[in-house]
Amino acid sequence: DTAVSQTPKYLVTQMGNDKSIKCEQNLGHDTMYWYKQDSKKFLKIMFSYNNKELIINETVPNRFSPKSPDKAHLNLHINSLELGDSAVYFCASSQGYARSYEQYFGPGTRLTVT
């Protein structure tokens, strides 16, 4: 069983479109995250939810909107896609929102905006 799953794995779309990425974890974790990894492999946190409550909201354009319908799911909706949004987006989860918990990453969604 996959611990953290994401769909789709690849997403190719045109500028201006709206798209969503879905994430689910079956680990029973309370905290979920969205990370963006750019072409230089730099991993930057975007959002974090703990028990469906938004706890981290980094400096991310408001075209990005996360939604957590329950603590096992965290989706990411992106409006008006831009070329600079092309990246790999990773969902992750951890047991709780504390400094010492390891994070489990999903397989990633490679977004290409043309």
Partner 1 sequence: GQQVMQIPQYQHVQEGEDFTTYCNSSTTLSNIQWYKQRPGGHPVFLIQLVKSGEVKKQKRLTFQFGEAKKNSSLHITATQTTDVGTYFCAGPSNTGKLIFGQGTTLQVKP
The footprint of partner 1 (CB under 8 A) covers 40-45, 48, 55-56, 58, 90, 92, 97-100, 102-108
Residue with smaller CB distance to partner 1, 15 or 55: 55
Query: Among residues 13 and 101, whose Cβ is nearest to partner 1?
Result: 101
For 73-107, give the DSSP string. Answer: EEEEEE-S--GGG-EEEEEEEESSSSTT---EE--
Cα(107)–Cα(104) distance, integer angstroms: 10
CB of 85 to partner 1, least distance (A): 19
Q: How far is the CB of 40 from partner 1 (least distance, A)?
A: 7
Of 14 and 39, the one with the shorter C-beta distance to partner 1 is: 39
Q: Taking the complex as a whole, how short is the minimal distance between the CB of residue 81 and partner 1, in angstroms?
A: 22
Instruction: With beta carbons less than 8 A apart as the criterion, state whether 36 and 107 touch.
Output: no
- Upper half-sphere CA count for residue 2 (Cβ side, 13 Å): 14
